[in-house]
């Protein structure tokens, strides 16, 4: 999916394979799900500001890990030779809240300021793009395949 609403062709379609299951009481799973809901939907939630006003209800978890830059030695060090401290920002989520159909994970490594919120902005863009495309498919507005999209581009010229 791109900004011009292009839909690429499916290269390989795969069915999910369950590798393992978590054996715990349903009450504990519900408690974790409630925490995920609060992160995205309650005031004070660490992802609330990114998902307020969305046309769908989502849930998930933010994360911040302190780290040091692990790339190029010249770039990854201060003038005195000390390594540059950075953050890895993460965000996982799913939607719709009550009957999930899509899940995502965002990892943004080596960020110099952990307050940028780039992980939240990326997550919102992912979810908005998914639901926008889904709505276009439901309304018959989405290209059926890459060929349809190329024909549309030629017509626009």
pLDDT digits (tens, 9 = 90+) for 79-120: 887 888 999 999 999 999 999 999 999 999 999 889 999 999
- pLDDT band at residue 1, thresholds of 50, 70 and 90? very low
What string of H, E and C letters represents the secondary structure of the chain?
CCCCCCCCCCCCCCCCCCCCCCCCCHHHHHHHHHHHHHHHHCCCCCCHHHHCCCCCCCEEEEEEEEEECCCCCCCCECCCCCECEEEEEEEEEEECCCCCCEEEEEEEEEECCCCCCHHHHHHHHHHHHHHHHHHHHHCCCCCCCHHHHHHHHHHHC
In the chain the domains, ranked by start, together with CATH numbers, are: 26-152 (3.30.450)
Per the model's pLDDT, the better-predicted residue between 67 and 79 turns out to be: 67
- pLDDT band at residue 24, thresholds of 50, 70 and 90? very high
Residue 44 above 80 pLDDT?
yes
Mean pLDDT of 51-70: 94
Q: Which of 3-7, 124-128, 136-140 is least confident? A: 3-7
């Amino acid at each position: 999916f791109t900004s011009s609403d292009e839909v690429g062709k499916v290269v390989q379609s795969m069915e999910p394979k369950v590798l393992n299951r978590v054996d715990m009481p349903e009450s504990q799973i519900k408690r974790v799900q409630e925490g995920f809901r609060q992160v995205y939907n309650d005031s004070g939630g660490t992802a609330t500001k990114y998902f307020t006003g969305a046309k769908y209800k989502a849930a998930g978890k933010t994360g911040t890990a302190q780290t040091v830059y692990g790339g190029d030695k010249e770039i990854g060090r201060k003038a005195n030779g000390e390594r540059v401290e950075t953050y890895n920002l993460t965000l996982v989520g799913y939607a719709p809240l009550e009957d999930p159909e899509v899940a995502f994970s965002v990892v943004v490594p080596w960020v110099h300021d952990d307050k940028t919120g780039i992980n939240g902005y990326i997550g919102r863009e992912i979810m908005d793009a998914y639901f926008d495309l889904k709505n276009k498919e439901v309304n018959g507005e989405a290209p059926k395949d890459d060929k349809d999209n190329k024909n549309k581009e030629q017509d626009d010229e």
